[in-house]
């Protein structure tokens, strides 16, 4: 077996020079910075929707009543539809021939860019609705701002999705109010559900260089700009639900960089089973 | 959640048509009943407007009274407006 050619000192020196000059290594691929940020941004939008859609579909057939079963299945379908658009777009921007299915079914945990809130376990119905209120309120405010995105595709998907998530937010708020202002047991369950999910809110507003690049280009939006409006909206729902605002906890961050909780691997193993076991399957 | 009351659902399929009864849902109150009706009966663009009515609020005829209620109309064919000569050239009637 032939051995690999040795790494010559001059190659090392060249790589060192380039690194110190603030450039990428000599073997780094050439990337277009705007395209790279847009790919990340589209992945985040798509992965948030995909993972929450998959999570919610776990309720199908198990809801307290058939009507609630349909409500949550409808939410899941709306979200998976949004994911299809955003992941399809990410694949197009990336220009490596990956379509939405390829990105959904053939990436592992470290390559997922969803926020940690959406991968949290469903828990009981109260915890699921608490998570839904916290996420849909954020998503509604995000899409409201992406309606005027300089990127026509993001603007048009947002225009369709904003109506879907407005409904998710309304129904989730109705349930948070009814369970909070309900029986002693429902109240306790809703308080517990909110407390469980509360530590994942700061990540939604944790602006990083991708957010800044996208906001600067007019493609995306700065999430910190609607943090106050978000707190006010959640506060109003909690007041109507006669619930106290949960105590702030140490935030958990990292989903946008691929640092996920143990739960995402389990979600993916179920979601990706079929296309991985039967690569040629069509549906 | 097993003690949720029943609500009758009426859907207007498009502007100008009347609401039609399509079925029923269980829900704890009217606001949630509208949501449940939306998620159960208008998922495929069936409607532009929804009504929900507590099933208990509906006063219905008694099937045992079918005779007195409906039989007397059976032989009153003259109540159908079919005994007029329609002039030529009149459409949409």
User: What pLDDT, on a 0 to 100 scale, did the predictor assign at position A26?
Assistant: 55
**Whole-number pLDDT of residue A70:** 95
- Supply the pLDDT for residue A52: 98
CB atoms closer than 10 angstroms to residue A19: 13
Cβ <8 Å between A71 and B35: yes
Mean pLDDT of chain B: 90
Helix (H) or strand (E) holding B13: none
Q: In chain A, which residues have their Cβ closer than 8 Å to the Cβ of B28?
A: 178
Residue A221 has pLDDT above 80, yes or no: yes
**A185 part of contact set with chain B, CB < 8 Å:** no
pLDDT reported for residue A29: 58
**pLDDT tens digits for range B6-60:** 999 999 999 999 999 999 999 999 999 999 999 999 988 889 999 999 999 999 9
Which residue did the predictor score with more confidence, A98 or A17? A98
Residue B64 vs residues B61, B69, B70, B74: alpha-carbon distances, Å: 9, 9, 11, 17
From chain A, pick out residues whose CB is under 8 angstroms from the CB of B25.
67
Q: What is the mean pLDDT of residues A62-75?
A: 94
Whole-angstrom distance, CA of residue A214 vs CA of residue A38? 7
A120 and B CB contact within 8 Å: no
pTM of the model: 0.85
Give percent of chain B with pLDDT exceeding 90: 56
Query: Could A74 and B25 be called an inter-chain contact, meaning their C-beta atoms sit closer than 8 Å?
Result: no
CB contact under 8 A, B40 and A70: yes
d(C-alpha A85, C-alpha A89), whole Å: 6
Is the pLDDT at A229 greater than 80? The verdict is yes
Task: Look up tokens 């009347």; give the residue.
Answer: B18
- Start-to-end C-alpha separation, chain B: 51
- Whether pLDDT at A136 is above 90: yes
**Are A67 and B39 contacting, i.e. CB atoms less than 8 angstroms apart?**
yes
Q: Which two tokens stand for residue A51?
A: 């993972």
Which structure tokens are listed for A159?
Answer: 């225009």
**Alpha-carbon gap: B69 to the closest alpha carbon of chain A (Å):** 36
Instruction: Nearest chain A residue to B3 by CA: give it.
Output: A65
Q: Do the Cβ atoms of A174 and B31 come within 8 Å? A: yes
User: Residue B27 burial by CB count (10 A; 0-12/13-18/19+): exposed, middle or buried?
Assistant: buried
* pLDDT at position A23: 52
Min Cα–Cα distance to chain A from B83, Å: 49
Contact A26, A49 (CB under 8 A): no
Average pLDDT over residues A64-69: 93
| Predicted pLDDT of residue A30 | 57
CB contact under 8 A, A174 and B27: no
CA neighbor of A204 nearest in space, from A282, A114, A111: A114
The conformation of residue A48, written as its DSSP 8-state character, comes to H
Summarize the confidence of residues A58-81 as an average pLDDT. Answer: 95
As a whole number, mean pLDDT of residues A224-229 equals: 98
* Average of per-residue pLDDT across A122-143: 98
pLDDT tops 60 at residue A57 = yes
- DSSP secondary-structure letter at A23? P
Least Cα distance to B52 among B65, B63, B38 occurs for B38
**Rounded-to-integer distance, Cα A122 and Cα A252, Å:** 18
Q: What is the pLDDT of residue A11?
A: 76
Residue of chain B whose Cα is closest to the Cα of A167: B35
The values of phi and psi at residue B20, to 5°, are -120, 140
What is the average pLDDT score of chain A?
93
A239-282 pLDDT, tens digit each? 999 999 999 999 999 999 999 999 999 999 999 999 999 987 88
ipTM over cut 0.85: no
Percent share of chain A, pLDDT over 70: 93
């Amino acid at each position: 077996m032939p051995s690999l050619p040795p790494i010559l000192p001059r190659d090392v020196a060249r790589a060192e020079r380039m690194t110190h000059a603030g450039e990428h290594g000599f073997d780094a691929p050439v990337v277009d910075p705007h395209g790279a940020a847009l790919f990340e941004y589209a992945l985040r939008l798509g992965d948030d929707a995909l993972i929450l859609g998959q999570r919610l579909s776990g309720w199908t057939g198990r809801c307290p009543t058939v009507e609630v079963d349909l409500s949550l299945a409808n939410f899941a379908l709306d979200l998976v539809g949004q994911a299809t658009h955003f992941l399809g777009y990410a694949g197009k921007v990336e220009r490596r021939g990956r379509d939405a299915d390829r990105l959904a079914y053939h990436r592992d945990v470290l390559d997922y860019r969803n926020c940690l809130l959406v991968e949290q376990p469903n828990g009981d119905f109260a915890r699921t609705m608490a998570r839904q209120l916290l996420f849909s309120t954020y998503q509604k405010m995000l899409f409201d701002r992406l309606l005027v995105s300089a990127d026509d595709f993001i603007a048009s998907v947002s225009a369709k999705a904003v109506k879907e998530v407005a409904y998710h937010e309304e129904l989730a708020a109705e349930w948070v109010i009814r369970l909070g202002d309900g029986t002693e047991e429902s109240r306790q369950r809703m308080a517990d559900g909110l407390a469980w999910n509360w530590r994942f809110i700061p990540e939604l507003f944790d602006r990083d260089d991708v957010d800044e690049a996208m906001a600067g280009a007019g493609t995306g939006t700065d999430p910190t700009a609607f943090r106050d409006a978000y707190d006010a909206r959640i506060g109003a729902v909690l007041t109507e639900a006669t619930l106290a605002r949960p105590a702030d906890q140490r935030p958990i961050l990292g989903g946008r960089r691929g640092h996920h909780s143990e739960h995402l691997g389990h979600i993916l193993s179920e979601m990706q089973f079929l296309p991985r076991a039967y690569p040629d399957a069509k549906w | 959640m097993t003690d949720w009351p029943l609500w009758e659902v009426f859907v207007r399929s498009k502007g100008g048509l009347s609401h039609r009864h399509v079925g029923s849902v269980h829900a704890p109150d009217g606001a949630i009943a509208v949501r449940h009706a939306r998620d159960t009966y208008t998922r495929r663009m069936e409607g532009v407007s929804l009504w929900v009515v507590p099933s208990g609020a509906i006063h219905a005829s008694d099937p045992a009274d079918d005779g007195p209620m409906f039989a007397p109309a059976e032989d009153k064919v003259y109540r159908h407006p079919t005994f007029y000569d329609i002039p030529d050239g009149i459409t949409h009637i």
